[in-house]
A and B are shown apart, each in its own frame.
Chain A
């Protein structure tokens, strides 16, 4: 009996969690223009409409530029921070690492408003680059968390052994460190890319007249007739996010296997 109650609870939980998201593809393929049951016929028109919307294409290109740049910057910063945090002891280390990780829990609205104020005070125009900066700020803690796992799984004496066998610090990094943390790097790139692609608040505050995909979506909600198109776009974004996360997790596990380690839970 107890088991059944738990099972029902779990199923209910999943339904509440995913049912709204399941509505997206339902209406994306529904031929009615009004978002309401009963469903009418099947159509691909809304997906086709996506292709004829130049503003959407611009927003997509913007989002991709931002997400790719953010992924690269955050991962590089994360690489430095994670290596320093796992390899060296220095005064104030715990405090420094804590402050670097803080944006993880800082309300994004606060971050976004602060960044906007700084930009305005400096007399700079907001735009793509300022969103990249904001996204890098919130993604770097994720990159550090993932990469710290990779570095702490790696035996410190591996690097010393390579140097002992005649390699320079740089070739040691290339031949030993990089291959062993590369699954972590790939996972970090993918997760930062996904976070940046989906992020709304910072992009909304800082995008100026160059909207990102989520900002564009938000703008479209004002036009009821565009709702089914938004549903279609939403469907694509959800599938893309899930696919990227699965790939990221796959790489993380492959990395563990390569290093001959047992999975201890990991980031996801």
Chain B
């Protein structure tokens, strides 16, 4: 997907060294006005460093950060048009909820009643209208999160920075807050930059995601592209689950790539299915578990694209069943997920199974 919104954050060749440690290795990206942008990666990949550099808490060693067209070199965090929601929420414990939320207005020219209205609106926006007088340390995790959001958004920043804001919440609360954050972002129209190590969270919430490894952006794309067309095996492994089958690239003719996939057979791919590029010879084919389908008696695969094997593991999840199936003539089993529907029998360990596969779901890693 192409970038159509005007950029609010422009990162050009951003480098950061801590002594000998190279934390950011040339980050270049445009983040659009009103976009929900995520920095996703394992711990230590530099995503938090990059967020803190945008906020102004870290100096960068090289490169340029433009916020709303202005170079941020030497601009202190309190002078940048950004606000941050900290991982610990950083709620001031000696203040009430309303004092926390209104903290950023201290230096504004608003009158006392205008400030009070602004605080009231901000609290209402995050669903804490009645909590203004409450002491900050008497709040639950989810409430603290909301106070932190209201406090950061009251200043109407051009960019809201969120540092793993949901990681301290339990699973249920996290899912509730994910949806609330999306709604809130749509409502206020402010650019959100989210740092997370949770790929599911990034997929659910973001317009675009930058996957980072070792201080570099490995892939920057919208969630669907990232999931369907990861440009490297590493990105594919980090996002969701993927099977990797040994394959051989046999040739590229008229915009079609011919591959021979071990255990499945020959397949024709489009160039878009090799986002990391094509090289002749040994390669791997990536296939998501949901793009392999078990065939039951009487069913046949389209175009005869069928393979058979033995069930090596059955994991029943209620709505889904995961199978590990060892395809005949392959060294390692593939994972297959099937939705449990009426009429679909759950196969047993050791049973023979037939699989249908679809070349359109394949990704080629050369």
The interface residues of chain A lying within 8 Å CB-to-CB of B104 are: 165-166
Interface residues in A161-179 (C-beta closer than 8 Å to B)? 161-168, 176, 179
Residues of A within 8 A of B86 (CB): 157, 160-161
A contact face: mostly helix, strand, loop, or mixed = helix
Q: Assess whether B155 is in contact with A166, with CB atoms less than 8 Å apart.
A: yes
B180 to chain A, nearest CB (A): 21
| Cβ contact within 8 Å between A158 and B90 | yes
Q: Tell me whether A259 and B77 are in contact (CB under 8 A).
A: no
Beta-carbon contact of A167 and B94 below 8 Å = no
Question: Do B78 and A176 have beta carbons less than 8 Å apart?
Answer: no
Q: Which A residues are in CB contact (< 8 Å) with B107? A: 166-167
**Complex CA distance for A162 and B104, rounded to whole angstroms:** 8
Number of A-B residue pairs having CB atoms within 8 Å of each other in the complex: 61
With A165-B83, A258-B93 already in contact, the answer to whether A157 and B77 are too (CB < 8 A) is no
CA distance A167 to B93 in the complex (A): 17
Q: Which of A157, A160, A161, A179 has the most CB of B within 10 A?
A: A161
Alpha-carbon gap, A165 to B56, bound state (A): 12
Closest A residue, CB atoms, query B148: A161
CB-defined contacts of B87 to chain A, threshold 8 Å: 157
| B227 is an interface residue with CB less than 8 A from chain A | no
Please give, as numbers and ranges, the residues of chain B lying within 8 Å of A168 by CB-CB distance: 78
Q: Is A155 an interface residue (CB 8 A)?
A: yes
CB <8 Å contact, A166 and B92: no
A227 within 8 A of B: no
B88 CB-CB contact with A under 8 Å: yes
Q: Are A160 and B94 in contact, with the CB atoms below 8 A?
A: no
- Once the chains bind, are B78 and A259 in contact (CB under 8 Å)? no
Kindly list chain A residues whose C-beta atoms are within 8 Å of the C-beta of B83: 164-165
Return the CB mask of B147-178 against A: 1 if under 8 Å, else 0.
Answer: 00001100100000000000000000000000
Determine whether B287 belongs to the interface, using a CB cutoff of 8 Å to chain A.
no
Q: How far is the CB of A121 from chain B (nearest CB, A)?
A: 43
Bound complex: CA of A164 vs CA of B79, how far in Å? 8
Interface contact A259-B94, CB-CB below 8 Å: yes
* Interface residue ranges of A62-93 to B (CB < 8 Å): none
Instruction: Name 20 interchain pairs, CB-CB below 8 A, sorted by A.
Output: A155-B88, A157-B86, A157-B90, A158-B92, A160-B57, A160-B77, A160-B84, A161-B86, A163-B77, A163-B78, A164-B78, A164-B152, A165-B151, A166-B155, A176-B92, A179-B94, A180-B94, A258-B94, A259-B94, A260-B137
Other than the known A158-B93, A161-B151, what 11 A-B pairs have Cβ atoms closer than 8 Å? A157-B87, A160-B86, A164-B83, A165-B103, A166-B78, A166-B107, A167-B78, A167-B107, A176-B92, A259-B94, A259-B137
